[in-house]
């Protein structure tokens, strides 16, 4: 792969960093060791400044180039792991049972560290590069916290860029997209309260299990019958809990689910549909439904100008044939969306596939592909050098 030669030289070193991070995964907002490793490495590389404390474990390294330009860009990686029991069998598998780097954030952190090492060493750019190591991408919106805690005020920058590895794309290839690239996410929680009774005496109670069944079925009609067919949307109930045994009708049933969309109007329609159907159906059966529809992550929307710059950098590293347009956005969520809502920028996919049977991210047998470490690090470094060119 045509990576930056100097970065290729520390491929082995980066592989060691990645596997060490993989062995010591930490959940969202608990990335104490990871944050410490990042800080120690940035210090060792000789970055100009290290900013800590944003979103608890967040770290920003400031690298100033040669020259007097006031321009600046941000490069962002995420650091957190997932509550999954690892099944890779790798010699460097998680030593923190029940926690696993199953989304490749170990690789993301390592690639940005690799770029930081190269950029600190070479300074072949004019301006400032902020390397942003963000906690809690999964569920707890570390990206939002960093923005709220003043990331862009403390680190004034013109554009911000993000990247995710993608095991279903060939290793070392890139996919770009203008506009929406990842979906907006809401968590749904519905509690149905009926009246518990003996399973053989249903007429003395109000059965929340039957009501829950009607609600689950009716929720399927929101996307099918109220959303314009060419728009994207999903409502999924992923968990139902109610009752304990054969012959008791319980008092309550609790359901958890997720909703996804791109267009904010569709989000409103999904929320309205979930609330209306759940409360209306429960009421019509003489029970009550409490509905929580919590909008967690907005859609991740790429700016076309920033995307063409990202695409140019990716092409310089991977070659034209390996930089392809992403045909469709994905329904996954991403909290880089909060940074893109506050700052012009773009989020690109980097392929990490080894063959046909690559486990998808969030799978217990997924493992970041170390072969692409220098590709990602070269992409970051190239982006910095292209966007902040030296004047001399």
Residue nearer to Zn ion on the CB measure, 119 or 361: 361
Stretch (H or E) spanning 145? helix 142-148
d(CA 92, CA 100): 11
Q: Give the nearest distance from C-beta 349 to Zn ion in angstroms.
A: 11
Which stretch in 101-109, 147-155, 200-208, 209-217 sits in contact with Zn ion by CB under 5 A? 101-109
386's CB contacts (< 8 A; 6+ apart) are 309, 312, 313, 316
Tokens coding 52: 């800590």
Name the residue whose CB lies closest to Zn ion. Answer: 103
Cα separation values, 381 from 21, 42, 66, 224, 323, Å: 22, 15, 15, 45, 17
The answer to the question of residue 111 lying near Zn ion (CB under 5 A) is no
Could you say which of 14, 47, 103, 301 contacts Zn ion (CB under 5 A)? Answer: 103
Residue nearer to Zn ion on the CB measure, 279 or 330: 330
Helix residue ranges, H only, 26-104: 32-45
SS3 137: coil
Q: Give the nearest distance from C-beta 138 to Zn ion in angstroms.
A: 5
User: Total number of residues binding Zn ion (CB under 5 A)?
Assistant: 1
Asked whether 196 and 287 are in contact (CB, 8 A), the reply is: no
Tokens coding 63: 């690298």
Which stretch in 95-103, 175-183, 289-297, 377-385 sits in contact with Zn ion by CB under 5 A? 95-103
d(CA 204, CA 286): 13
Residue nearer to Zn ion on the CB measure, 29 or 103: 103
Residue nearer to Zn ion on the CB measure, 103 or 383: 103
Residue nearer to Zn ion on the CB measure, 127 or 298: 298
Residue nearer to Zn ion on the CB measure, 103 or 377: 103
Q: Give the nearest distance from C-beta 105 to Zn ion in angstroms.
A: 6
d(CA 114, CA 73): 17
Helix, strand, coil percent values for the chain (each to nearest 5): 40, 25, 35
Stretch (H or E) spanning 307? helix 304-318
Residue nearer to Zn ion on the CB measure, 139 or 279: 139
Contact set for Zn ion, span 317-336 (CB under 5 A): none
Q: Give the nearest distance from C-beta 69 to Zn ion in angstroms.
A: 32
For the residues of 243-270, what is the DSSP string, one character each? Answer: --STTEE-SEEEEEEEEEESSHHHHHHH
Q: Give the nearest distance from C-beta 348 to Zn ion in angstroms.
A: 13
Which stretch in 45-53, 103-111, 231-239, 306-314 sits in contact with Zn ion by CB under 5 A? 103-111
Q: Residues in the site for Zn ion, rule: CB under 5 A?
A: 103
């Amino acid at each position: 792969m045509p990576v930056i030669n100097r970065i290729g030289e520390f491929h082995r070193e980066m592989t060691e960093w990645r596997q060490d991070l993989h062995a010591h995964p930490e959940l969202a907002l608990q990335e104490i060791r990871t944050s410490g490793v990042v800080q120690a490495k940035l210090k060792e590389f000789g970055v100009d400044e290290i900013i800590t404390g944003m979103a608890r474990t967040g770290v920003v390294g400031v690298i100033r180039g040669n020259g007097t330009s006031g321009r600046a860009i941000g490069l962002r990686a995420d650091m957190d792991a997932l509550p999954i029991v690892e099944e890779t069998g790798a010699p460097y598998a998680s030593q923190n049972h029940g926690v696993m780097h199953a989304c490749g954030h170990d690789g993301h952190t390592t690639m940005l560290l690799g770029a930081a090492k190269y950029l600190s060493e070479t300074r072949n750019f004019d301006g400032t590069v902020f390397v942003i190591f963000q906690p809690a991408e999964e569920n707890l919106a570390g990206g939002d916290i960093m923005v709220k805690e003043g990331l862009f005020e403390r680190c004034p920058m013109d554009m911000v860029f993000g990247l995710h590895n993608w095991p279903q794309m060939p290793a070392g290839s890139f996919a770009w997209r203008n506009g929406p690239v990842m979906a907006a996410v809401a968590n749904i929680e519905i509690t149905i309260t009926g009246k518990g009774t003996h399973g053989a005496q249903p007429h003395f109670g109000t059965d929340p299990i039957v009501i829950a069944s009607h609600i689950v079925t009716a929720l399927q009609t929101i996307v099918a019958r109220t959303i314009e067919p060419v728009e994207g949307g999903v409502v999924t109930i992923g968990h139902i809990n109610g009752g304990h045994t054969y012959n008791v009708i319980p008092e309550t049933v609790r359901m958890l689910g997720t909703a996804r969309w791109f267009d904010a109007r569709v989000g409103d329609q999904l929320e309205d549909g979930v609330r209306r159907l759940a409360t209306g159906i429960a009421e019509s059966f003489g029970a009550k439904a409490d509905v929580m529809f919590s909008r967690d992550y907005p859609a991740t929307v790429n700016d076309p100008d920033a995307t063409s710059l990202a695409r140019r950098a990716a092409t310089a590293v991977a070659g034209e044939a390996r930089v392809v347009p992403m045909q469709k956005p994905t329904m996954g969520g991403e909290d880089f969306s909060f940074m893109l809502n506050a700052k012009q920028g773009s989020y690109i996919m980097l392929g990490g596939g080894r063959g046909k049977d690559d486990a998808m991210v969030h799978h217990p047998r997924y493992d970041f592909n170390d072969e692409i470490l220098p590709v990602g690090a070269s992409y970051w470094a190239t982006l910095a050098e292209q966007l902040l060119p030296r004047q001399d």
